[in-house]
Structure 1
Amino acid sequence: MQEIINSEQNQRIKFLKKLYRRKTRRQMGLLVLEGFRIIEEALKSQVVFDSIYMTPEFYENEEGKWVVAEFERRFAASNLILVRENILNSIADTRTPQGIIGVVQERKYELADVFAAKELLLLLDRIQDPGNMGTIIRTAVAAGAGGIIILKGSVDIYNLKVLRSTMGAIFKIPLIQEVELEDFLGLLKESEYKLVSTDLSAEQYYYQLDYREPLILAIGNEAAGLREELLLNSDYRIKIPLLGDIESLNAAIATGIILYRFVENRLQ
């Protein structure tokens, strides 16, 4: 077993701490993963790792042995770093990071690449809640969506709460964030895609739409909905029937309902 880091003044530990700042992560193109489940999914998805930090206790258990074998098969063993549990826990965002933290390279996609998917795409406009964002990403993967476009003003998809909510699904779909609305609309006009907007004032229900043509489903901010520019550029506006005394559904739940209508159409 290699040397175990015992001090927070160690340069590796200082580097890891810096990565918990969004600005540093974005500058370096790296993101932080906490816990075995999401690191397992990242390794299975051929994500490029910078390093893994783990406690000696995790290193010795069955999950740790699997991680070590997978990591060393593709990456330098010197980037597998052993750290005392109290130090790892003091750095982690979660109370119990399960004895392991991973640092991976951000996957880079261009907007044109996502448009080239020729599958149903998802457009997210200023989604703010990390739990909603993570659940939407996970649901999109389950429904077979071709990609996700996230407009500027939305929560950072590499926020640790978002990453936990995706449960590793974030590595299984092309997505791009911080997209300017004008850039999206410019590519939309040149493409074969039709824009479908969710709108409480729409006349058409979601189940009345033909999902067999190339579509981009737009989901708006939890409180304000979609921006007017998106509604004006929509080919279709749809809504979900609400029979009880409630104004709207949670953004993630609404997305799931509509995406699985697409799945039903696809399977017929």
Structure 2
Amino acid sequence: MGQSVPLSLICDNVRDPGNLGTILRCAAAAGCQDVLLTKGCVDAWEPKVLRSAMGAHFRLPIFPSLDWKDIQKQLPSPVTVHVADNCSGAERAGQEVGDLEVQESKRQLKAGDYGWVSTRPNRKYVRYEDYDSDSEQDSDAELSLPKVDTRLYHERWAQSNTALVIGGETHGLSLEALQLAEKTLGQRLFIPVVPWVDSLNSAMAASILLFEGRRQLLNLTETSEKKVKA
């Protein structure tokens, strides 16, 4: 039970040192093969990150300050990339904030505003259209976020060569993370909570998903071994 599993963790714009350190500690404990940090993440060697990680830096490879092209090159091939995301955030935003803020929320799903999880799963495919572009040339074009299937976290999603993206609580998931999930046939992983609790922080979401991913991958290994012996 002490072996590592073919599971990579991608931290996308995780800017809180305490959260990143805790996430690294969880990744090491779950037997992740590596951790990839985007350029928006806090410095992995910042003192508070080191204290929170409790030695995790020396137990698994950590690759800092990567752009998304570097991340794709670093991942094994083939690989399936999943994202931890609140699938109903943009729709709820339209009910709670003004028009200008709605436009911004449609550009980028913000886990800090809407929580890592929702009280109910959204429809199978999520598509949001007509959000503003920063380019005047493209301002009238119809744009949409990638379509990514939603799945409950305890349903089967982890397979050989799996990656999980955890977004930061300030800026949430990058568009590139969703695009990579769509490209590799990954999914939005949904953690249901009771109605009066609408949010888990990024470190808690990472812990739940990483250990569930580990459980699923070990079960696959055990099943394969039994078939070989039979």
TM-score by length of 2: 0.61
In 2: Cα distance, 1:228 partner to 1:266 partner: 27
SS at match of 2:28: helix
Match of 2:72 in 1: 185
For residues 46-125 of structure 1, what are the structure 2 equivalents within 5 Å?
A: 119-125=6-12
For residues 114-193 of structure 1, what are the structure 2 equivalents within 5 Å?
A: 119-186=6-73, 188=75, 191-193=77-79
In 1: Cα distance, 2:80 partner to 2:43 partner: 26
In 1: Cα distance, 2:214 partner to 2:70 partner: 28
For residues 184-223 of structure 1, what are the structure 2 equivalents within 5 Å?
A: 184-186=71-73, 188=75, 191-201=77-87, 203-223=150-170
In 1: Cα distance, 2:34 partner to 2:71 partner: 14
Q: CA RMSD in A?
A: 2.0
CA displacement at 1:253 relative to structure 2: 0.4
Whether the 8 Å contact between 1:134 and 1:165 is mirrored in structure 2 is yes
Structure 1's 192 and 118: CA in aligned 2 closer, same or farther, altered over 3 A?
A: farther
Match of 1:257 in 2: 208
Q: Which residues of structure 1 form unaligned runs of 5+?
A: 1-116
Structure 1's 154 and 259: CA in aligned 2 closer, same or farther, altered over 3 A?
A: same
SS at match of 1:255: helix
CA displacement at 1:232 relative to structure 2: 2.0
In 1: Cα distance, 2:11 partner to 2:86 partner: 16
In 1: Cα distance, 2:80 partner to 2:165 partner: 11
TM-score by length of 1: 0.53
In 2: Cα distance, 1:216 partner to 1:266 partner: 12
Whether the 8 Å contact between 1:152 and 1:181 is mirrored in structure 2 is no
Whether the 8 Å contact between 1:125 and 1:219 is mirrored in structure 2 is yes
Whether the 8 Å contact between 1:130 and 1:159 is mirrored in structure 2 is yes
Percent identity between the two aligned chains:
35
- Matched to 1:147, the amino acid is D
In 2: Cα distance, 1:260 partner to 1:187 partner: 22
Higher-Rg structure is 1
Match of 1:243 in 2: 194
In 2: Cα distance, 1:233 partner to 1:160 partner: 31
**Matched length:** 151
Whether the 8 Å contact between 2:5 and 2:31 is mirrored in structure 1 is no
Whether the 8 Å contact between 2:160 and 2:217 is mirrored in structure 1 is no
Higher relative contact order (CA 8 A, sep 6+): 2
Deviation string, structure 1 residues 26-84 (Cα, Å, up to 9, x no partner): xxxxxxxxxxxxxxxxxxxxxxxxxxxxxxxxxxxxxxxxxxxxxxxxxxxxxxxxxxx
In 2: Cα distance, 1:139 partner to 1:194 partner: 20
Q: Which residues of structure 2 form unaligned runs of 5+?
A: 88-148, 220-230
